[in-house]
Amino acid sequence: MPTSPIAVWFLEPGNAATMLRTVLHLDLAGADAVVLPGEADCPEALLLAAAASRRAPRIGLVAEISPWSQPPFLTARALGTLDALTRGRAGWFVSGRDTGTTCSDDSGRWSARTATAAERQDALADYLAATAALGNSWEPDALVADVPSGRYVDADCVHVTNYHGPYFSTRGPLNAPRPPQGRAVRFAEYRPNAAESDVADVLVVGSEEDIPAARASADRVLLKVAGEAAAAPPVTSADGYAFCGLTADRLLGQVLHETLPALVPVPRGGLLRDRFGLSASDFEFVPYHAEQEVPV
């Protein structure tokens, strides 16, 4: 458990230059992570995270990705690549936001466009399971990279996933080695009985009353603070704060240069999972055993 409160910043949509500049200021101010929005009217979250990875060398970079925007294979590969690029600072904000696109199952069996609300919730759980299975297609020691022998990988440590769920099917394996954290840290807004709440490592709540229920699902809980409340965060039983809705220059500067440095006096580094005090065992390799293989 961190010795000082966790500080996560939800970045407001804007142009790429402004957003990157804010991420740099957040890195210098000691924020533990920044959530990059996945809205249609701003730069793509994963590309923005990649651009920020070297400019801001310490802060965790959390990309908001909706399951309705792309198949599980692309999400698993992109998050693994981001984790490798950032040397273990990647996160995934699992969003149920409707992006206006319609992600279909890799085999074409299902589409979000025609699904009911209940089906979309079940499909989200299946999407998360498919992504997790793909993330475990490479064992930690699979990459050999032995130049003299010309051997790049240990083929026995790279596994065809053959994930076959009720909504999504994906064969795998990923075409990238296992990243530093094993998988990206998963964030979500707390919603009772929601699929993303059940698998999140970090949940964001809107009120103190929601904290006990959120703790039953996630290892870390953050209290959302916005506007003037962000300048003087209230005492809370949560593990830290999720700063959001900060657009006014005066308030933005106050939180960046006064509130955050006081909240996190010694900026934390290393793997994102470690600075949140998450158990390493939750990120270990767990082979997926397909009950039903997808035909090759």
Top-confidence residue, 296 or 292: 292
DSSP assignment, residue 117?
A: H
Q: Mean pLDDT across the stretch 4-20?
A: 94
Instruction: Give per-residue burial for 96-131: e unless 16+ CB within 10 Å, then b.
Output: bbebeeebebbeeebebeebeeeebbbbbbbbbbbb
Mean pLDDT of the chain: 89
Q: Tell which residue, 15, 43, 8, has the closest CA to residue 29.
A: 8
pLDDT digits (tens, 9 = 90+) for 48-63: 999 999 999 999 999 9
Q: What is the identity of the amino acid at 156?
A: D
Under DSSP, is residue 33 helix (H, G, I), strand (E, B) or coil?
A: strand
How far apart CA 266 and CA 63 sit, in angstroms, is 25
- For 93, phi then psi, to 5°, come to -90, 110
How far apart CA 22 and CA 26 sit, in angstroms, is 6
pTM above 0.85, yes or no: yes
Residue 64: its H or E element: strand 60-65
Instruction: Give per-residue burial for 24-49: e unless 16+ CB within 10 Å, then b.
Output: ebbbbbbbbbbbbbbeeebbbbbebb
How far apart CA 181 and CA 117 sit, in angstroms, is 33
Domain extents in the chain: 6-283
pLDDT digits (tens, 9 = 90+) for 74-110: 999 999 999 999 999 999 999 866 555 555 555 566 6
pLDDT digits (tens, 9 = 90+) for 233-274: 999 999 999 999 887 788 889 999 999 999 999 889 999 999
At the top level of CATH, which class does the domain 6-283 belong to?
Answer: alpha beta
